[in-house]
Amino acid sequence: MTAGDYDLIVVGGGIMGASAALRASHGGMRVKLLEALEIGSGASGVNAGTLSLQIKRVKLMPYALAGHALWERAGDAVGYRRTGGLTLAFTDQEAELLEHRMTLKKEAGAPIDFVGKNFIREKAPALTDAVVAASWCESDGYANSSLTGVYYRALLREAGVDYSEFSPVTGIDPSRDGGFSVQTGSARIAGKRLLLASGFGLQETMAMLGVDIPVRVRINTVSVTERGPKLLDCIVGHATGLLTMKQKTNGTVLIGGGWQGVRDAETGRGEVRADTLNPNLQLAQYAAPGLSSFRLVRTWTGFEANVSDFYPLAGRLPGYDNAFVLGCVRGGYTIGPYIGQLMGDLILGRVPEKPLFDPERLIDTTYATSGERLGT
């Protein structure tokens, strides 16, 4: 076989890589998926699991709505719960921010309403009465990101996608026939097409094919308490986006909001820092004072990748016909399963039902060579 053993090689087994692999496989392609660690063990498996339209970017709202529907369909297998969500403002300035942002998100299609104190008291009596303004989104909820790995492993097996865990990719070479040869461990794997979906590692992976797009990494802190008495029925957020909070059915409270830990230069691992963990927990406790009787049981970080304009990398890898890139989706947990499907469609040669986000926009054309296309 000249053009390789596989129709598609996917680098990265997070939600996006797995979802695209599944779509391509269902479309008849023979797919190989390589994951450096474990399926769904990166940001896909350690994020706070918040499914809130109130913290999605306006331009991404249609994708978030569709992603939300996919998680709802996955149901118990991913611990999906539709609880509704409150977003709170505690100062006049925050109230202004809330009104401005939620109005735009509502116009973009999210079913968001502004609500008063009586509504809050009824929906979430444990919340502080220091709320100045609030919004409510009926369709908000959460899923359990810990189950991402189990969920996608089962689907990949069922679809016959050949996946390998603990298989970091150390080199990629374009082959003369337009395909690719991928090095992992001592193995070389050949495929006609390639999808790079390696999350925060995307910059490094794209560089293996000579594409230079800076990818920044946010080190988001997430915390969980011990099981405690009933505190919250719905998910709770903050006007600035700096708090997400939910009480799971088992009584544990999960707290996030994108407070930044640090990344250890030597090990590459994320680390929690007290000077950002503490204010994150303070904000949570300010919103729900009853939280003070809980015990913090675990806190960790997840890596969220983004590019300079904070919009997704989703399209053909600049300079290549048969290589694709997917990642850097703000709100990637919510949107991931859906944008993965769109990417799968693009790879299958179909027209995706919603436009993707061509990475070409991030290539500095001033310095580009004379349009020479590699690997074609």
Partner 1 sequence: METEFDVIVIGAGPAGAAAAVEAAARGLKVLVVDENAAGGGQVYRASAIGKEEKGPGKDLRRALAESGATVVFNRRCWLIEPGFRVHCTAPDRNELYHAPALIVAAGARERVVPVPGWTLPGVIGLAAATALIKAQKVLPGRRVVVAGRGPLLPYVAYMIVKNGGEVAALIDRNGPQDWLSKSLDVAARPGLALEGAGWIAALIRARVPSYFRSAVSRVRGDGEAEGVDIVGLDKNGNVRTQTKSIGCDAVCMGDGLAPSVEITQLLKADHVFDAVQGGWRVTADPWGRTSTANLYACGDGTGIKGAAAAPFAGRIAAIAAASDLGRLSKKDAEKAIASLSRQHDRASRFGAAMTALTAPDVRGLSLIGEDTVVCRCEGVTRRDIVSAVQRGAQSVNAIKSATRCGMGPCGARMCGDVTAALLSAEMNKPLAEIAPMTPRPPLKPVNLEPMMAEFSYSDIPMPEPAPL
Per CB under 8 A, 232 contacts partner 1 = no
- How far is 267 from 163, CA to CA, in rounded Å? 26
Q: Which residue type, as a one-letter code, is found at position 367? A: Y
Selected from 8, 161, 235, 281, the binder of partner 1 by CB under 8 A is 281
Nearest Cα neighbor of 59 from 335, 347, 372, 359 is 335
Under rule CB under 8 A, which residues in 26-45 are in contact with partner 1? 38-41, 45
Selected from 75, 103, 113, 166, the binder of partner 1 by CB under 8 A is 166
- How far is 334 from 44, CA to CA, in rounded Å? 10
Selected from 258, 327, 336, 359, the binder of partner 1 by CB under 8 A is 258
Per CB under 8 A, 81 contacts partner 1 = no
**Distance in Å, CB of 369 to partner 1, minimum:** 32
Give Cα separations from 139 to 86, 105, 290 (angstroms). Answer: 11, 13, 25
Per CB under 8 A, 157 contacts partner 1 = yes
- How far is 298 from 312, CA to CA, in rounded Å? 30
Q: Which is nearer to partner 1, 40 or 319 (CB)?
A: 40
- How far is 328 from 258, CA to CA, in rounded Å? 15
Taking residues 201 to 230 in sequence order and writing x for each that binds partner 1 by CB under 8 A, - otherwise, the string is ------------------------xx----
Among the candidate windows 70-78, 110-118, 151-159, 194-202, which touches partner 1 by CB under 8 A? 151-159
Q: Which is nearer to partner 1, 26 or 248 (CB)?
A: 248
The full DSSP string for 69-96 is HHHHHHGGGGT-EE--EEEEE-SHHHHH
Q: Which is nearer to partner 1, 211 or 283 (CB)?
A: 283
Q: Which residue type, as a one-letter code, is found at position 57? A: R
**Distance in Å, CB of 279 to partner 1, minimum:** 5
Among the candidate windows 23-31, 134-142, 153-161, 352-360, which touches partner 1 by CB under 8 A? 153-161
Taking residues 323 to 352 in sequence order and writing x for each that binds partner 1 by CB under 8 A, - otherwise, the string is -------x----------------------
Contact (Cβ atoms closer than 8 angstroms) between residue 330 and residue 13: no
**Distance in Å, CB of 12 to partner 1, minimum:** 17
Kindly provide the b/e burial profile for residues 124-162, where b requires at least 16 CB atoms within 10 angstroms of the residue's own CB. Answer: bebbeeebbbbbbbebbbbbbbebbbebbbebbeebebb
Contact (Cβ atoms closer than 8 angstroms) between residue 187 and residue 54: no
Q: Mark residue 48 as left, alpha or beta (left: phi above 0; alpha: psi -120 to 50; beta: remaining).
A: alpha
Contact (Cβ atoms closer than 8 angstroms) between residue 68 and residue 111: no
Selected from 80, 90, 180, 333, the binder of partner 1 by CB under 8 A is 90
Selected from 118, 186, 249, 292, the binder of partner 1 by CB under 8 A is 292
**List of residues contacting partner 1 (CB under 8 A):** 38-41, 45, 55, 57-58, 90-91, 97, 101, 104, 130, 146-150, 153-154, 157, 165-166, 225-226, 239-242, 258-260, 264, 266-267, 269, 271-274, 277-279, 281-283, 285-286, 291-300, 310, 330
